[in-house]
Amino acid sequence: MMGAMANRRRSRRFTRPVVIQPGRIDRDRVVTNVRDAAHLLLREWPVQASEKRQAAMEACLRVFRGEGSARHARQAFIDAAKDARIFVGEKV
């Protein structure tokens, strides 16, 4: 039971999905939670040396630690995506 609760906490869903396109030929990616955002920031981000990327990774980490909100992590992710020029939009 504790593992399931921890998993839910770590995946913290976004209120509205964020759409990005990480590569020129990649399909749009719909990001719905903090876990997916963190994975993209760590493994697939096109601009590695970016203050906005670093801030977004820190915001995701705060959510995992129970110190931050998914809302704040989502906004930091959007800011980083805009900075990297891969932001497509938000789903309603």
Q: Report pLDDT digits (tens) over 38-88.
A: 999 999 999 889 999 999 999 999 999 999 999 999 999 999 999 999 999
Whole-angstrom Cα distance, residue 90 to residue 54? 21
Q: What is the pTM of this model?
A: 0.86
d(CA 10, CA 52): 21
Domain boundaries, the chain: 2-90
Please state, as a whole number, how many other Cβ atoms lie within 10 Å of the Cβ of residue 23. Answer: 10
Alpha helices in the chain (DSSP H): 2-11, 34-43, 51-64, 70-83
2-22 pLDDT tens trace: 555 555 554 699 999 999 998
Residues in the chain: 92
